């Protein structure tokens, strides 16, 4: 894989990751007239919960559901410059033009009852393919393997940036999830704090005396009723306490803190297992399932011995024509109610052809 870094017209970094043999050198220049990127994003801590909240009012101006001919994630054409100056690409990463947090965030740090600080971090966009009509599920295993390497590369890079405490790669797919750009892409957030979900998992692991996910994985593999797919290095299963109507966890058999710690063989194997899982998910309702795919990995500086890397894939689609909306119990009290059983979902996914 060839890695080429460059700058966009407003100074944001763009990095090309080429896996196509003989791919031409990346030398195109961004010709757009863009102002320098500076944000007023801020983090504020909720005094009732101790959780940080990101305030990013400038994101109201971000691109919203453009027609395919004006997609900013497609390659550039002479008459239509986009976020990617090249006429084609394999996988590309660039700094988000409308970031929630940024290395260019400005403002004061305030202590007291409601502490606040500049939203110092980084948000990146990851385009998996130049084909606007494709999807992650349609990528080849070789391309998925490239994406895994990209996630690992960016995890290491963002973890080393000033202010970044946790790196979160994820993908949103489908209008029902709230996607505003339909081109196949994901994002990576470098947060200036450890996220609430991760803090809670670390606390549980600490009380358990180690990463409890290892015990959960051994239990799921031994019982087998919720396992969807497995290989030499990974197991995908529906968690026993699934919160979402469709939820699958993809877990490596070896305890590693993050994506960079995966071996070459584990990365190869993940590509095969994950495509198997996505294929089954798309066959549940005979169409592309809207989903969020979220990587849970260790924070940059703490809890690395307590974290077991895993991918959580979930969907709000509870039937072929109905969505789950977060009601009072979920939104108000964070008490989840699932209308189906994890065992039945796992049975349906095993029965679905993997293609």
Task: Please give the positions annotated as active site.
Answer: 185
- Write the DSSP assignment of 64-125 as a string of letters: -S--GGG-TTSBPBTTB--SB-SS--SEEEEE-SS-SS-TT-----B-SSS-EEE--SEEEE
- The rounded distance, in Å, linking the Cα atoms of 304 and 168 is 15
In sequence order, the 6+-apart residues with CB closer than 8 A to the CB of 153 are 3, 17
CA distances from 202 to 152, 215, 217 (A): 21, 15, 17
d(CA 146, CA 135): 15
Rounded Cα distance between 135 and 66, Å, is 18
Longest dimension (CA), the chain: 60
In the sheet that holds 52-55, the strands lie side by side as: 52-55, 42-45, 116-118
In sign, the C-alpha dihedral spanning 118, 72, 270, 265 is negative
Q: Give CA angle at 290 (256, 323), nearest 5°.
A: 120
Compute the distance between CA of residue 271 and CA of residue 252 in angstroms, rounded to an integer. Answer: 12
């Amino acid at each position: 894989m060839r890695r080429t870094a460059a700058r966009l017209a407003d100074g944001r970094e763009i990095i090309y990751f080429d896996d196509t043999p003989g791919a031409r050198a990346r030398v195109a220049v961004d010709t757009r007239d863009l102002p320098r990127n500076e944000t007023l994003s801020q983090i504020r801590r909720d005094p009732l919960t101790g959780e940080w909240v990101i305030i990013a009012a400038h994101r109201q101006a971000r691109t919203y559901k453009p027609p395919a001919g004006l997609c900013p994630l497609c390659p550039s054409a002479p008459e239509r410059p986009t976020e990617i100056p090249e006429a084609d690409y394999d996988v590309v990463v660039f700094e988000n033009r409308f970031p929630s947090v940024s290395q260019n965030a400005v403002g004061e740090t305030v202590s007291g009852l409601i502490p606040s600080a500049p939203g110092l971090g980084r948000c990146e966009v990851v385009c998996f393919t130049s084909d606007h009509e494709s999807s992650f599920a349609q990528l080849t295993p070789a391309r998925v393997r490239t994406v895994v390497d990209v996630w690992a590369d960016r995890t290491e890079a963002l973890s080393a940036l000033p202010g970044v405490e946790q790196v979160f790669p994820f993908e949103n797919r489908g209008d029902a999830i709230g996607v505003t750009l339909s081109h196949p892409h994901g994002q990576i957030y470098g947060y200036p704090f450890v996220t609430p979900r991760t803090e809670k998992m670390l606390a549980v692991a600490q009380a358990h005396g180690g990463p409890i996910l290892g015990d959960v994985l051994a239990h799921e593999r031994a019982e087998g009723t919720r396992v969807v797919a497995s290989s030499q290095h990974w197991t995908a299963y529906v968690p026993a306490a699934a919160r979402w109507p469709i939820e699958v966890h993809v877990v490596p058999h070896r305890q590693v803190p993050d994506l960079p710690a995966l071996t070459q063989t584990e990365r190869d194997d993940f590509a095969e297992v994950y495509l198997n899982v996505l294929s089954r998910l798309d066959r549940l309702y005979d169409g592309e399932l809207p989903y969020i795919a979220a990587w849970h990995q260790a924070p940059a500086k703490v809890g690395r011995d307590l974290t077991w890397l895993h991918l959580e894939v979930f969907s709000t689609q509870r039937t072929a024509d109905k969505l789950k909306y977060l009601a009072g119990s979920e939104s108000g009290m964070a008490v989840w109610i699932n209308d189906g059983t994890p065992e039945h979902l796992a049975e349906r996914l095993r029965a679905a052809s993997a293609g």
